Structure 1
Amino acid sequence: MYKFISGLLKLIIIKMSKSLEVQGKENIPQLHRYLVTCTHESYNEVIMLGIAIYPNQIHYMAKKELFNNKWFGKFLTSLNAFPVDRENPGPSTLKKPIKLLKENKTVGIFPTGQRMKYNEGAPMKRGAVTIALMAEAPILPAAYVGPNKIKGLVTGKAVIKFGEPIETKNLPKTMKRNEKLEYLTKELERKTIQLQSELNEYMNNKN
């Protein structure tokens, strides 16, 4: 299902309507074993990010409430999404994405944990960096600028930009776990803000 829908959307959005531009493709790791993050203002980022990385498939973490409906839950599962309990996160929340990364698959997470306008003051949760650190997988930061409504996927113009991956394996052994998490969180915040700023400037210059 993922392959069919992604291939169809790529044909419509990139080939036919040319509504998505992808920058920084050279930063996407050749191996599929990485965690990709992105700014998150709407559900459009979920779709566009998947298309930008296709044919590699993203396994998205999604709030468990979306799986309450049996049939919709099955549909999401067919698209590689898996449920997480945002209200009561625990050790079990980390097991699935870590297992996927160790199986050389790509995991997608929106670090702010909810749809919101990203800026320098937006809180970035530690879930993404915790998972990447425990799986010893690189983090691929990305930012999105474009329409927030579904119809804009075809009628609008959007850009996704990937930054250089953040390595998690080569941190000094003298650093404690909390220090590593703090460093990686700040590094992810810094790169995300930089990518968003560059995209905003790019879009302003185009207009």
Structure 2
Amino acid sequence: MSILQAIRIFLFYVLLGTSSLLWCSLSFFVAPFMSFPVRYRFINVYWCRFALVLVRVFLGIKVKVTGAENIPERPCVIVSNHQSTWETFFLSAYFQPLSQVLKRELLFVPFFGWAMAMLRPIAIDRDNPKVALKQVASKGDELLKQNVWVLIFPEGTRVPFGQVGKFSRSGAALAVNANLPVLPIAHNAGKFWPKEGWGKRSGTIEVVIGQPMWAEGSGPRAIAELNDRAAAWNEQTQRDLGSLPPQATTSETASVA
């Protein structure tokens, strides 16, 4: 990493942290008097858009979106792979209003957590997985009925670029129980914004929005099938983006054997 690049990254984080503190502090005093859609736009959309401007100006990271025409009119469950912090900025600004799963402890962080609490997040206790699943199901269903997008990262945590994590069924279950589709999204953000460390690479992040996927029936079997279909689509799309090595053909597998 060059000295100039290190300086740019340092300035990015200074401005990002300072703007977050100032905006969350202002939101804490102003946003409670707004309706939820206006409050969401004021707290989350405006700041996330500002953060993305900082990303473009200081880090040289741009974005290319494919498949925007696949977004349904009615909010549903968004299922995306998770590689970095970038996609939380981008998706929070791109879909509105949107709720996502986060650790309950974050809501206790002064100003930042208090502002986040006003955005109707699905705050879970990660130390108690069974209770967390029930929280996602009940709170997520309530939000969907109020026409709020629900973002689920089924891998559960950030996964290094070039790898895929196991998809949990929480997003598919939420969609099936609400009689709504999942909207699959795949991206290669980790190529430019790695999971580990402060280093960043300039370039263009590619985001692909797939066609909405409906379950074929109801119940556990339909949930599992829908989840497998969304996971397979995400993996194949990442391969198409060059994030994963091409899958070996049957003849190649036979020759290795």
TM-score band by shorter chain is: 0.7 to 0.9
Instruction: Give SS of 2:111's match.
Output: helix
Are 2:210 and 1:163 equivalent residues in the alignment?
yes
- Counterpart of 1:148 in structure 2 is 193
Q: Please, which moves more after superposition, 2-11 or 110-119?
A: 2-11
Trace 1:47-58 onto structure 2 (pairs within 5 A). Answer: 47-51=89-93, 53-54=94-95, 56-58=96-98
Residues 46 and 87 of structure 1, relative CA distance in 2, 3 Å threshold: same
Once the two structures are TM-superposed, the CA of residue 106 in structure 1 deviates from its matched residue by 0.4
The amino acid of 1:75's aligned partner reads: A
Larger Rg: 2
Q: Does structure 2 retain, via aligned residues, the 8 Å contact 1:76–1:82?
A: no
Residues 120 and 10 of structure 1, relative CA distance in 2, 3 Å threshold: closer
Q: Which has the higher helix share?
A: 2
- Counterpart of 2:224 in structure 1 is 182
Distance, in Å, in 2 between the alignment partners of 1:77 and 1:159 is 30
Once the two structures are TM-superposed, the CA of residue 98 in structure 1 deviates from its matched residue by 0.8
The amino acid of 2:86's aligned partner reads: N
Residues 80 and 11 of structure 1, relative CA distance in 2, 3 Å threshold: farther
Q: Does structure 1 retain, via aligned residues, the 8 Å contact 2:106–2:113?
A: yes
Once the two structures are TM-superposed, the CA of residue 18 in structure 1 deviates from its matched residue by 7.0
Q: Unaligned regions of 5+ residues in structure 2, if any?
A: 1-42, 244-257
Trace 1:55-70 onto structure 2 (pairs within 5 A). Answer: 56-70=96-110
1:128 to 171, 177, 193: 171
Distance, in Å, in 1 between the alignment partners of 2:223 and 2:238 is 22
- Counterpart of 1:117 in structure 2 is 160
Residues 119 and 151 of structure 1, relative CA distance in 2, 3 Å threshold: closer
Distance, in Å, in 2 between the alignment partners of 1:159 and 1:64 is 31
Q: TM-score, normalised by structure 1?
A: 0.79
The amino acid of 2:112's aligned partner reads: F
RMSD over aligned CA atoms reads 2.9
Once the two structures are TM-superposed, the CA of residue 137 in structure 1 deviates from its matched residue by 1.6
- Counterpart of 2:14 in structure 1 is none
Q: Unaligned regions of 5+ residues in structure 1, if any?
A: 202-207
Aligned-pair identity in percent equals 23
Q: Does structure 2 retain, via aligned residues, the 8 Å contact 1:120–1:193?
A: no
Once the two structures are TM-superposed, the CA of residue 81 in structure 1 deviates from its matched residue by 3.1
Instruction: Give SS of 1:47's match.
Output: helix
Residues 35 and 14 of structure 1, relative CA distance in 2, 3 Å threshold: farther
Distance, in Å, in 2 between the alignment partners of 1:134 and 1:5 is 33
Are 2:123 and 1:83 equivalent residues in the alignment?
yes
